[in-house]
Structure 1
Amino acid sequence: MKAFLSHSSADKKSYVGIVASRLSEEDIVYDEMSFESGEETMNEIIRGLDESTVFCLFISDESLKSPWVREEIDGASIRLANGSLKYIYPVVIDRSVTHDDPRIPQWLKENYNLRLVTRPVIAARRIQQKLRQASWAKHPKLKERERAFVGRNKNIESFERRFDDYSQPKPVLSVVVGPPSIGRRTLISNALRKLALNGPDKDFPVLPLDRHASIEDFILRLLDLGASDASYAELNLAERPIDEKVAITVGLLKDLAKLKERVVVLDEGCLVTYERKLAPWFEAIVSHTDLVGKPLLFVASRWAPNPNSVRQLSRVVFSCTLGELDPSERRRLFARLLEIEEIVLSTEDFETFAALLNGFPDEVFFAIDLLARLGVRGAIDHSNEIVEFNGEKASMLLRPFQDNEAVLNVIRLLAQSEVFSVDFLCQIFKEEQLVNIIADLVSEHVCELIGAEGEFLRLVDSVRDYVKRNDLSLIPELRAAVNSAVERDIQHGNWNEYDSSRVAFLVKNALASGESLEPRFMIPSHILRTIKELYYDRGKLRRAVDLADILLAKERNLDPQLVQDVRYYLCLVLARLRDTRVLEEAQRIHGDEHDFILGYYYRLVGRQRDAIERLSRVASGAFVGVRAKRELVEVLLQMEQYDDARELARKNYEENRTNQFHIHAYFRALVLGSSPERYLTVLEALCSELEDVRSDRSRQMAMIGRALIAARCKHDQRSLDLIDDAIASFPRIIYPVLAKFDIGLSFRNEAAMQDALTRLERLASDGVNLSTKTLAVLRAYLAAVRGDLATAHSRAAEVARHFTDEARTRFLEKLEAFASGAVVNRGGAR
């Protein structure tokens, strides 16, 4: 497949030659490389057009004057009509050329995005992406499916009322609110077309901003569009105050407004925060006088702006909330997609499937894909998957690929960052294999292409969260390939050639490994994401503290919300380190996060009563509630209040059955409580669910679980062999060793208990995080089993003062029972 580069010779040196030099000679038709000496120029043009899949037109004042370029445009139009040419890609490279220039053919104006791209390196990337897209158009009806739209009449009408209100300027910002997959972007796209703000077949740039992004990320995403001459490294954003960054952003948006560009932003809490307010810097941008009346930004937001917070911005901000599809709308969407896919159902079968559908569009798409893949009878046999889809969306979407390691490797890498450029992915994977994988993943709604021309790839939110939450880490070979690509790019060091996603990934990996970079190559969110990753990886925690301190030293130049996020993760790291500095830093954090941080720290250092008090306060909180409930389960398990832990763990598990931590917590609450054999069937099913997750951590949990079932439910001494297998598989992890102590205690096996304690002491001395209070509890139990009650009581005194009265009494009674040799109903040592 080739791209024909149509241009004026006057633009060769300054622009088109640079583009050509960055593309493979085999991929382009470009006069200096492709036209044979001595041949008639027109014949060469015809031959080049006949060989090409993509016609790239570089629009400038000079090219619009050129008769040769006009001939090439006419030739491209003919070949597009007969199907031999697949794509037209016009690029405006001259700021003096406007969209309404009469020299631009009308069919180009009406059907294609005429975007200014001032930097040749960006144009080259997009041409390469167009060639890839031509080869991965695996789902011929994907575009039709994406544009399938029914209902939403009230929402469209609200757009029309606001935009047709001549008493007010058109809003700079339009926010469509709703959860992911509800159809926010589809509504925006159709509203833009209905309002004649976008052509019927034109696309618009889609920019992602996650919870930890800030104004610097927004600027870099805008630079990716290529309409500005400014470059990432030259701006040195980390050193600029907020007001300067606001001015830079306004300037970039003004440039886009001149081009009549509309920008869609996928916002996960950056622009509209979870507190339902516009970020202060974003409010300053959209209310800037230079942007009034310019309908530029269309934001798909998870959070609805609080009416009180945006009342004074009503002239520049419009907002509407998108609910679930009503029964009529979901039936109509289902019928529309059946027609697109040419699937014929009987009336009875249509009603069978329609009755299973709830209010989310992606559930309808899933049902269609199930029918396409399995046929009507097969889909009916698997109709339970449609019912379960909303609760287990990610695992359902991944199911077709569960045994395909090549695809899973791509998914695992995509989960390592918010977004990746396809260009960077081609450095890691073989391009010919990657394009087919991307085609499959996009067709199955596992990931989506975004950016100005689909040059970036991101996992859908549910899949990315699933992969990250369940710690589906990169296999060693893939990790080595990624490290090699990162090292190569950093050594190359031409940062102005890299897109924002590539910069973010390079900086994060460099910082995590301890490399030093010039400050101008970093922005605050890069450092924040590195801190977060170091925390979840449980390694190099002191490095995370150092990075947080570097960032907080520049606090006055940063977005206040980002500062809070940095301090929040700093506190999590300090808590895991059992560093008392967390008590001081937590005072600078407000709201639910303040209580959660303290509760988490108290749980880790053994202050159970204080942990329960703090965590209970925020168990229903919007941002930390889910994690607070999980931590409460851990506290209750530590205190051996298994009945209370079991009920809370069950609720957590039922709310999210694919979360390995909730599965494991529920398992422990059942297996460590009284009469665990009553729950044998459930326990074995939970172990199977952990094995199905297929992460290293879930495999570790499952191995421990199998050993505990053998010990607690079957009273089988071979459980010690099973737990030794787990220890051998995960030699640097404390949890299999703690489980060995529990199993040894249940059999009063002093040798097993002593071996486990010795291993734990060795791991603690090697720097593995392990509470001294946990070791004190284990030493107390070992002393009791040996009949030394005085030592057991002495050890217990170190930790029992932090227990509730009930837990302390139960702990001391069990020590006495073990010391006396009585039968003890006890499930665990922690």
Structure 2
Amino acid sequence: MHFPHRGQNMTKAFLSHSSSDKEFVRAVANGLGRQFCLFDEQVFDTGETFKLSIEKHLDDSSIFVLFASSESVKRMWIEFEINEAWYRILEGRISRALVFLIDSSIGHEALPPWLSRAKVSRTNAPKIVAREIRQHLDELIRTEQHPYFEGRSDDIGHLQKLLRPIGEPAPRVVGIYGLPNIGKKTFIRKTAQLILSFNRIITVQIEESDGLPDIAIKIANLLEPYSTKAGFDEIVARIKSENKEQLLKRMISDFRVAVENKEMPVLIDDGGVFTSDGFFTDIAKMLIDALKDQGELYIFLVSTRKPIENLLSMQLKPLAIDAVKRLVAEISSTMKPPLTINQISELAEYVNGYPPSAYYAVDQARAYGIDSVLADKHRLVQFRTAVFVKYINSQLMTEEQKSILLTLARYSPLPLQVLADTQGYDAAKLAGDIMILVDRSLIVPNESGLYSIAAPVADAVASEFLSSSDVNHQAIYDSLKILLDDENLELPRLDLYRLLFRASVRSGSKDSTAFHMTNDLIRLTEDYYHRRDYKRCIETAKLALTEAPKSYSARDFLIRSFIQEEQWESAESEIRELEKFASPRDVQFLLGFLERKRGRLQKAITYFLNAEKLGRSGVALKREIASCYYHNDQISEAKKYVNEALATNKDNRFVVDLSIQIAIREGDEQAARSGIEKLAVLDVEPFVKHRLSTVELRFGNIKEALKSARESVEAFDNDRPTFGILAQLATCLTRVGLFDEADVTIQRLSRLYVNQRPDIRLGLACRLEIERKRFSKALEILDNVKDITPIIYEAMRRDAIAGELAIGTMPDEKRIRYQHELDTLNKELSTYDPNEAWFTLIS
């Protein structure tokens, strides 16, 4: 039943129920979150009479929800609530009434006449009830907020034809694929309503190495009627005991429940639906084959990969520029002053066809002014949320707000209580900071009342705050453990248990009882690798591979970590294991990575080109090939691959960085500094300062080079600077004559990277001794270098011999031998560039 809404009350649902149904309704209330409902345990004031509390909170409601059971229809207070709701509907203060029959012994005939005409549903799953109430609340909110859906008319028409083929059975499983962040889920949500008459979609994330039990648990978490710890434990235990046929039967049954409640299931490919070649994984094929035979079910698949298998699918492309302009104009229509036509056009080009970017950019323009969005510096790149995170971080964010963001970037979603336990300051101030971050579109409350980092900014936050103090993983673990040990709390237990497991691993708590899925280990492996914690990456990858021996990602990161740690034989052994099930092009790529790190550039180039011939593509491959050519002094070939990579993604920070290095090599100072300006928008401070230091050193600004090198190292705070960054600082310190500090820096480098690049560490120490005029010691150090083929070592030997001949005493025989060697070296090094040779060696 739907009535015109004319009042000024909050958009909340009043939950009317009997005390005997309290556990069920409590689970619904927790599923909705306090911001969306009025539940007596949460809001009734003990200082007021029950009657006054009912009247007060009905006045604050826009939807009346009755949980009808044989007990509730007998209760006096329920009758009072029903009557009061009826009066408020007549007055236009309540907009809708919903009834949920939660008792098998009650039917429509038991309801008052006016309520029997309301929307009446029968269900026993609190989560389904919460989602339906939330849908109605969202519809009321949308009447004021006006969401926009632009530029998809042709796509809707295309999908309509696919779903209604002439003379053939209508398909039940459909794939939608396209680039990330172009609105695939929004498109499905809209078309599910327009074409198939579903009210909502429910999404199930299928992750790499998910088995049938994992997927069944995720689906049960959305659709089966449990809410307490005991309920969760029981369903997990039951699912883990079931065989393949039982699991498939369970999932089909759960999906039927969803469809009966007008919810369309959508499977999101997060590495578990399609292989890198676009074929179904074995598990996904098993599930899809079972679903295809169920005539009443409709399932959509969402992926960034184009399906190769026999699956009806369509590509969703980024919005055309005219559609983006209309979308930006609609979203910004309430801005004061309004955006001009030119500003709308600039912003449309800036967001580059991605609807979420349009919403986010307009939100930021509304909050901080259009000039901050369209400033020349930021227009060097297409829209990236990292730009706004940088802007907010530099001007508008407190240390406490950064800490909240960093915590949620590692652990989302989290309850307010866990954030309060781990942030260590006043709860009222914490709530205020969270509201500020919500207002800035940086974090979002979900339907369960938990807080998550906004998806578009998660990676940008983790990158921008790389040098900040890390999250207190032990505090996160302790707080989640206390929360989840409460037997009766209705919580989104699957999400929180998985976070508990990650916190236990990161904190070293070694909680063997913590529930997890294999993908949690894979995600931890990836996280450790990107944070350059290669030892822990190796440990975690090995754990993941014991559970999923054919996990490509786990073995890929294991191999890369062995390579980064210069454990060449272990890397080779794991590559042989990978060959048994991975694509040859991926194996060739990793062999290329191995040889590049070993310094065998020509071999690396051969492997990378093989990977390209076998079908591997993308910016990462082109960058690797370009890097090998660059370090192998094949500059024209390097530029070719850099340009190809930039044509694909002109804002890839690694490729932009390599283009700067090429400009340095070619002596093009203007191009190098232009690249630095662009890199400053794309990358984090430590790496920008490092590259700036190499530019300054190459063009003779030694003091500025040292200043930037210091700032680069300092920006890491307590974190571990990279090898190259410390080597650059040692080089600059040596060049300006700060020998003691250079020595300390080289010692620090050796402590942090004891097993890595020994020849380069020896080279740094040798150069330092040459500058100190301790030439005999420099020659002793050079004798320990294993690979003396790089020309830089010949140059250092020349300088050390020349110095020793000038000031040292030695027998004539040795002096004559040194003099002949010096003459030979001078001839060989007549065109030698010491700066460039050293940069190449360190890189």
- For residue 545 of structure 1, what is the amino acid of its counterpart? I
Tell me whether 1:615 sits opposite 2:625 in the alignment: no
Equivalent in the alignment of 1:550: 543
Matched residue type, 1:6: S
Tell me, yes or no, if the aligned pair for 1:170 and 1:293 is still in contact at 8 Å: no
Instruction: Give the corresponding residue for 1:205.
Output: 202
Structure 1 position 69, deviation (Å): 3.8
- The correspondence of residues 313-352 of structure 1 with structure 2, limited to 5 A, is 318-326=312-320, 329-330=323-324, 332-334=326-328, 336-337=330-331
2:18 to 8, 16, 24: 8
Query: What is the CA-CA distance between 1:659 and the residue it aligns to?
Result: 5.6
How far, CA to CA, are the matches of 1:722 and 1:330 in structure 2? 40
The answer for unaligned runs of 5 or more in structure 1 is 312-317, 802-807
Percent identity between the aligned chains? 18
2:555 to 554, 567, 581: 567
Residues 325 and 360 in structure 1, CA contact (< 8 A), matched pair in contact too: yes
1:340 deviates by 6.8
1:646 Cα offset (Å): 6.8
1:253 match: 255
Q: Is the 8 A contact 2:206 2:272 kept in 1?
A: yes
What letter is aligned with 2:58? L
The answer (yes or no) to whether the contact 2:198–2:262 under 8 Å persists in 1 is no
The yes-or-no answer on 1:487 pairing with 2:478 is yes
CA contact (8 A) 2:208 2:519 kept: no
Residue 454 of structure 1: how far off its partner (Å):
6.5
State the shift of 1:60 in Å.
4.1
User: Partner residue of 1:315?
Assistant: none
Name the CA shift for 1:629/1:283 in 2 (closer, same or farther; >3 Å): same
Q: Deviations over 1:312-369 (max 9, x none)?
A: xxxxxx4222223345544554554465779867888878877888544345546754
AA of the residue aligned to 1:489: L
What's the C-alpha RMSD, in Å, of the aligned pairs? Answer: 5.3
Structure 2 SS opposite 1:223 = helix
> Is 1:588–2:577 an aligned residue pair?
yes
Q: Distance in 2 between matches of 1:555 and 1:719?
A: 48
Tell me the equivalent position of 1:179. Answer: 179
SS of the residue 1:521 aligns to: coil
Q: What's the CA shift string for 1:585-633, capped at 9, x where partnerless?
A: 1123222332232232333333333333323444699877433444456
The structural deviation recorded for 1:738 is 0.7
Residue from 282, 291, 294 that aligns with 1:292: 294
Q: 1:770 to 1:143 in 2, by over 3 A?
A: farther
Deviates more, 1:139-148 or 1:769-778: 139-148
Work out whether residues 93 and 117 of structure 1, in 8 Å CA contact, stay in contact via their aligned partners in 2.
Answer: yes
Structure 2 counterpart of 1:609, one-letter code = Q
- Give the drift of 1:581: 1.5
AA of the residue aligned to 2:499: F
Equivalent pair of 2:635/2:662 in contact (CA under 8 Å): yes
> Residue type of the partner of 1:582?
A
Deviates more, 1:167-176 or 1:233-242: 233-242
- Separation in 2, partners of 1:144, 1:484: 41
> 1: distance between equivalents of 2:45 and 2:677?
67
Residue by residue, what CA displacement relative to the aligned partner does 1:648-687 show, whole Å, maximum 9, x if unpaired?
A: 567757866766555554445545x364756564366367
* Map 1:732-811 → 2, pairs under 5 A: 732-733=720-721, 734-743=723-732, 754-765=743-754, 770-778=756-764, 794-795=783-784, 798-800=786-788, 808=790
Q: CA offsets, 1:416-474, max 9 Å, x none?
A: 25755677657657776777777776776656666xx4756655654333334x35248
Q: For 1:298, what is the secondary structure of its paired residue?
A: strand
Matching residue's letter, 1:584: S
| Distance in structure 1 (CA, Å) of the matches to 2:117 and 2:317 | 33
- More relative contact order in 1 or in 2 (CA 8 Å, sep 6+)? 1
- Gap runs ≥5 in structure 2: 1-9, 804-825, 827-831
Is 1:276 matched with 2:278? yes
Mapped pair 1:606 → 2:592: no
Structure 1 residues 645, 273: closer, same or farther in 2, change over 3 A? same
Q: Deviations over 1:483-513 (max 9, x none)?
A: 4232122255539844332222221121233
Corresponding residue to 1:414 among 408, 413, 422: 408
User: Would the alpha carbon gap of residues 420 and 163 (structure 1) be closer, same or farther in structure 2, given more than 3 Å must change?
Assistant: farther
Q: Which residue is equivalent to 1:405?
A: 397
Q: Give the drift of 1:584.
A: 1.4
Change (3 A) 1:144 1:396: farther
TM-score by length of 1: 0.75
2:475, 2:482 → 1: CA distance? 11
Q: Among 692, 700, 703, which residue is 2:686 paired with?
A: 700
2:256–2:297: 8 Å Cα contact kept in structure 1?
no
Alignment counterpart, residue 221 of structure 2, candidates 213, 221, 224: 224
User: In structure 2, do the counterparts of structure 1 residues 296 and 676 end up closer, same or farther at CA, with 3 Å as the change threshold?
Assistant: same
CA contact (8 A) 1:330 1:359 kept: yes
SS in 1 for 2:395: coil
In the alignment, the residues of structure 2 paired with residue 648 and residue 95 of structure 1 have an alpha-carbon distance, to the nearest angstrom, of 68
CA distance in 1, matches of 2:330, 2:500: 43
Instruction: Tell me by how many angstroms 1:96 deviates.
Output: 7.7
Structure 2 equivalent of residue 30 of structure 1 = 40
TM-score normalized by the length of structure 2 = 0.74
Whether the aligned pair in 2 keeps the contact of 1:793 and 1:812 (CA below 8 Å) is no
Residues 233 and 495 in structure 1, CA contact (< 8 A), matched pair in contact too: no
Aligned residues of 2:443 and 2:453 also touching (Cα < 8 A) = yes
Comparing 256-265 with 50-59, greater Cα deviation is found at 50-59
Task: State the alpha-carbon separation in 1 of the partners of residues 117 and 273 from structure 2.
Answer: 32
Secondary structure at the counterpart of residue 179 of structure 2: coil
Query: Match for residue 804 of structure 1?
Result: none
Amino acid corresponding to residue 295 of structure 2 in structure 1? G
Asked if the contact 1:176–1:300 (Cα under 8 Å) also holds between the matched residues in 2, the reply is yes
The whole-number CA distance in structure 2 between the counterparts of 1:196 and 1:710 is 62
Correspondence for 2:152:
152
Q: Aligned in 2, Cα 1:657/1:223: closer, same or farther, shift over 3 Å?
A: same
The alignment of Structure 1 onto Structure 2 pairs a total of residues equal to 778
Counterpart residue number, 2:677: 685
Deviation at 1:190, TM superposition (A): 2.3
Classify the secondary structure of the residue corresponding to 1:181: coil
Aligned partners of 1:71, 1:565: CA distance in 2, in Å? 59
SS in 1 for 2:410: coil
Distance in 1 of aligned mates of 2:457 and 2:102: 38
Aligned residue identity for 2:528? L
- Residue 36 of structure 1: CA displacement? 7.6
Structure 1 residue 6, shift from structure 2 partner: 1.0
CA positional deviation for 1:748: 8.7
Does the aligned pair in 1 maintain the 2:325–2:345 contact within 8 Å? no
Taking the aligned partners of 1:35 and 1:758, their CA distance within structure 2 comes to 66
What SS does the corresponding residue of 1:175 show, helix, strand or coil?
A: strand
The match for 2:590 is 597
Question: Following superposition of structure 1 onto structure 2, how do residues 696-735 of structure 1 map, counting pairs within 5 Å?
Answer: 698-705=684-691, 707-716=693-702, 719-720=705-706, 723=709, 732-733=720-721, 734-735=723-724
Cα deviation digits, residues 132-168 of structure 1 (max 9, x gap)? x99xx9x997676674224533432344345445966
CA displacement at 1:523 relative to structure 2: 1.3
Which of 302, 305, 311 is the aligned partner of 1:303?
305
**Equivalent residues of 2:30, 2:449 under 8 A apart:** no
